[in-house]
Amino acid sequence: MIRKYTLPVLTALLIGSPVSAPAFAQGTEMQLNGKGFGPPAFRSFCGRFATLCNTRSGARIVQLTADKRRQLQLVNSTVNASIKQQSDMQTNGVEDLWTIPTKAGDCEDFAILKKRELLKRGWPAAALLLTVARLSFSNEGHVVLTVRTSSGDLILDNRTNSVRDWSSTSYRYYARQSQKSAGWDRIGKPIPIDVTARLK
């Protein structure tokens, strides 16, 4: 997991009120509400792995076929099984370091590796967005990978092997990588979408 910010500090960092994901609703997308800010360690990560920070190439929304969904499930579960959950302090001797894990890592490292694996499979960078949330039962920050699809915004998470619509999780979402710039966007309320219209 990312650094254990208290709620006021995390809120100030990401500029905006948190949004609780509501009960599951198939086909929902995150509503964006202005500019947000990612954790400080993200900027350092981008200096070392610029290609994994790119969100402006390829389609912004992927048509979710059965094969595409299987790919998401496979990448999510395989990474979860291959990497040991361990804090940055235990792994790297620092409080918060974003990197590509090889044997152990925390939440953002899992999300980064999943993004890299999907990019290798031909998924567009613009649809793969690192996303900051907060665990509902604590003040701990959490990072997941949001995948923008024709069936809504799906979450790949190191806490579960299930690929879920973001609105079916219990997290409070703050910000995600922007599809328009190198920055981050604040997350607002969910928007129900017409899945059929989105496939056109």
Check if the beta carbon of residue 64 is closer than 8 Å to that of residue 149.
yes
The letter for the amino acid at 199 is L
Quote the CA–CA distance of 1 and 195 in Å, as a whole number.
33
CA atoms in the 13 A half-sphere facing the CB of 172: 16
Residues of the chain with pLDDT under 70: 1-27, 189-200
- The per-residue pLDDT for 134 is 92
Classify 7-198 by CATH class: alpha beta
What is the rounded CA–CA span in Å between residue 178 and residue 13? 16
pLDDT of 95 reads 86
Which pLDDT belongs to residue 4? 46
Q: How high is the pLDDT of residue 92? A: 84
Phi first, then psi, for residue 13 (nearest 5°) are: -60, -40
pLDDT (tens digit per residue) in 118-144: 999 999 999 999 999 998 878 789 999
